[in-house]
Structure 1
Amino acid sequence: MMQFFKQKINLYQKTQAYLPTLSAMRIMQIWLALLALLIISAFIHKLILINHVKEIETLKEEQSQENSELLELSQNKKVNNVVKAKNEMILLKEKIADIDSIVSQLKQLEDEDRSPFSFYVESIAMRHVKGTYLAYINLQDEGRRMSFSGVALEPQLVPIMVQSWQKSPSIISTQVKKVRLDNLKQDKDYVKFNLQAE
């Protein structure tokens, strides 16, 4: 005997629709959240780039400022070198003028046939102290009385010059009696001096 299996089928039963685990609204929210994250990360990246650009610009400005300062320093150094060279030229010209005046005085004394005076002047020239410059020499009474005027770069060079002259055999008998220094209180690079010796 055969057994038949019976199954009851309800033809009027509604079929259940397949519902996905995520709804369309949820998927759209996820996409919007991802889009918002991308926009925020792009914005942050742009801010970082802007900050880097600003840092680069400030570094360039600092570099250009340092370059201009270096250029200005080099130009100032050149100007200082030029000024120093001009001052040295002025001192050399003064020294040449002093030597020329001494030579002209020697020639004048030779022309007047007063050889003892040229001997004194030659002795003074041989005992020259660097930084002192004679502008005027006056010899009287065959060299017994002398007066000198000139310029010294520093006041302490005048006594050194006098001591140097007194080592000369031709001037050893003379003693410096009066010394006058000018321009000590003024803001100048030299001192004028007047000496009288007997």
Structure 2
Amino acid sequence: MFLLFLCLLAFGMARELGKALGASEVSYLAPLVLVLSVFSFELGIAGVLLLAFLFAYLRWSLDCLLKAVFVLIYAGFLPIYLYMVKSQSSWELIKLVFFAYTVDTASYYAGKLFGKRPLAVRLSPKKTWEGLAGGMLGGMLFFYFINKPVLLAVPFVLIALAGDLFKSFIKRQVGIKDFSNLLGEHGGLVDRFDSVLFVAIFWKFL
């Protein structure tokens, strides 16, 4: 059931990314990449390259190849790390998701209440150093409550921030506010899972 959920998530994120980049048809290939990745990383990477090549060949476009590779890695391959965390235990997956959202929420309110110094104007004008400090504090408190070294939260907060800014870069380049309105004011799936996906890559090192 969880793999089915991840396949739907992969399709949804690929649909949003593909639409933003002008290659929405590639979304149908993302779940296949995810399933291949479950068997092995090597199959997953091979699937990304071969399916992206097929997609681009049918359109005879290098631009389509690059877009397809990006979409399939981000939406099709990266969710495998959520599968890996879930394989450890459901509790680990819950902790991962709550950590990412705790950092995001703490950053938002700290920035809203105290934010004055912009963090990355070109990427996300509303992000501030004060917001980052609030997210750092929220991440440290979360690690304290789950009995992990508090200072270990620092790199994980920065990884969550990197996931957020990575997504923001794409949005700024294509000129959109959110990837979709699927989740109302919270935007689309890519908007909600950006930090979660990046943090999931490194969660196994805890």
Q: Return the TM-score normalized by structure 2.
A: 0.23
Larger Rg: 1
Q: Higher helix fraction: Structure 1 or Structure 2?
A: 2
